[in-house]
Amino acid sequence: MTFHELWRSGQPVYGFWFAYPNLLVIEQAQRMGFDWVCLDLEHGTAEPSDLLPVMLAAGSTPVIIRVRWNDPGLIMRALDTGATGVLVPMVNNAEDARKAAGACRYGTEGYRSFGHMRPHVIPNYSPSTGNRFVLCVVMIETTEAVDNIDEILSVPGVDAAFIGRFDMAVSAGLEPAQARTHPDQLNRIRTVIDACKRHGVPVAMKAGADTPRWRAEGVQLLSVADDRALLNGAADLLKSVKKTEA
């Protein structure tokens, strides 16, 4: 199955998250069988100039770009370089959602500008095919967004809701370390998941070691690994080695 077929069938799609745009590692990730990779322009070191090299390194693996803000110019730029979709931060209400979705779609479905960039290497590419195969994923990462989740999910062109656990916790006055365990936080997450089920909208999450748990609760698009976590794992291994030598 292709990525879009997996996505539309409701099956899980597993990804690798990149904060640092190392092209060799991105190339290796696509060879390992990840269904998608994400390049983080919001909280990573990548710059817009890294987009095209990342697309080339990823090969046939779909690339989703977390843009820096809900800015139409940033969204269109990411899609013009060939990204399969975008993660749009801090979507808190229906107006934010319409702004994000409109920048992802051409013509009557939105206001994306039609320029001759990388997507045009696809045979018979047109505005209608572009609209059909792009993914607009809105990030639900504040208590305001949770309160407005039904109106956000009702906006045409919103393809998925990505739960940003850490910002959601911070917006509620919690510490980031409580994002995975605090009862009120877990209730907010489940509120979003339940709303997505009602609206027939897939749920996404940067899940890591919690992947089995959240997959069982219905999250479909899951980031299971990221470059920062790999570095943390290496640091833990180093501590363990040094402890045995002490």
Is-catalytic flag, 43?
A: yes
99 near 86, Cβ under 8 Å?
no
SS3 per residue for 127-191:
HHHHHHHCEEEEEECCHHHHHCHHHHHCCCCCCEEEECHHHHHHHCCCCHHHCCCCHHHHHHHHH
92 near 142, Cβ under 8 Å?
yes
**Terminal-residue alpha carbon distance, the chain:** 51
State the catalytic residue, choosing from 4, 43, 116, 199. Answer: 43
What sections of 36-113 are H helices per DSSP? 51-58, 72-80, 94-104
CA distances from 190 to 10, 82, 146, 161 (A): 18, 33, 10, 12
- Provide the annotated active-site residues: 43
